[in-house]
Amino acid sequence: MTKPKDISKAIFTAITSVVGKEKVPLHEPLFKGQEWQYLKNCLHSTYVSSVGSYVKEFETALAKFTGADYAIAVSNGTSGLHIALKIAGVTSGDEVLIPSLSFVATANAVSYCFAKPHFMDCYDEHPAIDPEKLDQYLHYETEQRNGKCINKKTQNVIRAIVPMHVFGHPVDMDHLNVIADKYKLVVVEDAAESLGSYYKKKHTGTLSELGVLSFNGNKIITTGGGGAILTNNKTFAERAKHLTTTAKIPHKWDYIHDEIGYNYRMPNLNAALGCAQLKQIDFFIKSKRKLYKIYKSKLEHIKEISLMAETSGNRSNYWLQTIILSEEVKDQFDKILKLTNNVGIGTRPIWKPLHKLPPYINCPKMDLSRVESLSKRIIN
């Protein structure tokens, strides 16, 4: 066998031709709209916290933008996932199917429900859950009992599945929804990275019963910290609002909380920032898509790698530009990360697979051989 050629220098040259050799972080928010004005207005109003008009305004704008009937603003994407899973019926002792290649928040939110994440493998060359492998697995490893999906090995109920639109690229929701239906699983979309991404013309996070967005500082728009739950179900929406606002019964002066709620609401100050940011989303997405095209033109001559691209019929926000190394050059992974980071270009590997993190080592999982391979070949 011939030794694969060294492509690390070519990749380095291509990247620096796009971003220069200056320090460039993986993410950087941009505040070029009405952020300063809205924040000032918010401070003037003195309503910086749990009450104030920007929260409602942000929720209305989000619902309009995504086409969801309801959007409930929350303190961050993780708390949004926690409450969405709780509303989906995830409860103590359950299992929830999640991709092993995701940010740790997906697994943590499952744990906050006293449930266990159950890790799924990805496609050969794409980090999202492979629906066919999933179907096969559930066919052999589960049985239906009283309309519930039971893990034959653990005897636990597998209650839900959380597809994640990774790096902004919509996953095959039609296929996943068919499987979820077949095995009686509730679907909660982790759309934390995919505001502005569409699966067959429908906004990600609105293709199942509940979806969750994040507005962390690194996401396509930011509220500092923040998130939102999307749903078309009025009961779910009311329940999400109630649970995230300490389960307080509205009353002029009395403090009546009818269950254990959470202080997960988005402060008005953060919502003010969100209102200003959301107005610029078309520009942000246009810029991200342009950046993809530039990278593509600079990198396409390197045949040993591919760039993650939107699939036909779908539209990606291209939140993070992503290189996938082919098997033959996978040994150059660290070298590429080193070359770029040494000059301050903040390239990053994909997350460490969740089933390898200390708190999740003993969780149920399917064969994860593709995750094992792909996790050592993806660079943002």
Ligand X SMILES: *Cc1c(COP(=O)(O)O)cnc(C)c1O
**Site residues, ligand X (CB under 6 A):** 76-78, 102-103, 105-106, 164, 190, 192-193, 214, 216, 227
Q: In whole angstroms, how close is the CB of 103 to ligand X at the nearest point?
A: 4
- The DSSP code for 27 is -
- For 254, the 3-state DSSP assignment is coil
Q: In whole angstroms, how close is the CB of 255 to ligand X at the nearest point?
A: 28
Helical H runs in 126-280? Answer: 131-141, 173-182, 234-244, 268-278
In angstroms, the CA 132 to CA 208 distance is 19
Using the minimum distance from each CB to ligand X, give the nearer residue, 52 or 163: 163
Could you tell me the CA-to-CA distances from 352 to 44, 64, 339 in Å, in that order?
44, 35, 20
Using the minimum distance from each CB to ligand X, give the nearer residue, 109 or 276: 109
In angstroms, the CA 114 to CA 108 distance is 10
Using the minimum distance from each CB to ligand X, give the nearer residue, 7 or 374: 374
Instruction: Centre a 10 Å sphere on the Cβ of residue 288 and count the other Cβ atoms it contains.
Output: 18
Q: In whole angstroms, how close is the CB of 300 to ligand X at the nearest point?
A: 27
Chain residue whose CB lies nearest ligand X: 77
Q: Which residues, including other chains, have CB under 8 Å from residue 86's CB and lie 6 or more apart? A: 113, 243
Q: In whole angstroms, how close is the CB of 1 to ligand X at the nearest point?
A: 38
- For 188, the 3-state DSSP assignment is strand
In angstroms, the CA 370 to CA 124 distance is 6
Using the minimum distance from each CB to ligand X, give the nearer residue, 193 or 209: 193
Residue type, 225: G
- For 303, the 3-state DSSP assignment is coil
Using the minimum distance from each CB to ligand X, give the nearer residue, 117 or 227: 227
Looking up tokens 């060294």 gives 6
CB 116 within 8 A of CB 162: no
Q: In whole angstroms, how close is the CB of 172 to ligand X at the nearest point?
A: 17
Q: In whole angstroms, how close is the CB of 169 to ligand X at the nearest point?
A: 12
Q: What is the largest CA-CA distance in the chain?
A: 78
Using the minimum distance from each CB to ligand X, give the nearer residue, 209 or 299: 209
Using the minimum distance from each CB to ligand X, give the nearer residue, 52 or 127: 127
Q: In whole angstroms, how close is the CB of 214 to ligand X at the nearest point?
A: 3
